[in-house]
Amino acid sequence: MEKITIKTEVKGDINNVWEAWNNPTHIKNWYFASDDWQCTKAVNDFTEGGRFSYTLSAADNSESFDFEGTYTNIEPLKLIEFKLDDERLVQVEFKEYDGKVTIIETFESEEQNPIELQKTGWQAILDNFAKYFDSLSN
Confidence of residue 138 (pLDDT cuts 50, 70, 90): low
Residue 94 domain flag? yes
Q: Is residue 66 part of a domain?
A: no
Count the domains in the chain. 1
Which CATH number goes with the domain that contains 123?
A: 3.30.530.20
16-50 burial: b if 16+ Cβ within 10 Å, else e: ebbebbbebebbbbbbbbeeebbbeebebeeeeee
Domain annotation covers residue 24 = yes
The verdict on residue 120 lying in a domain is yes
In this structure, is residue 122 part of a structural domain? yes
Residues 6+ apart with CB under 8 A from 61: none
Instruction: List pLDDT tens digits, range 4-24.
Output: 999 999 999 999 999 999 999
Please state the pTM of the whole predicted model.
Answer: 0.94
Q: Does a structural domain hold residue 107?
A: yes
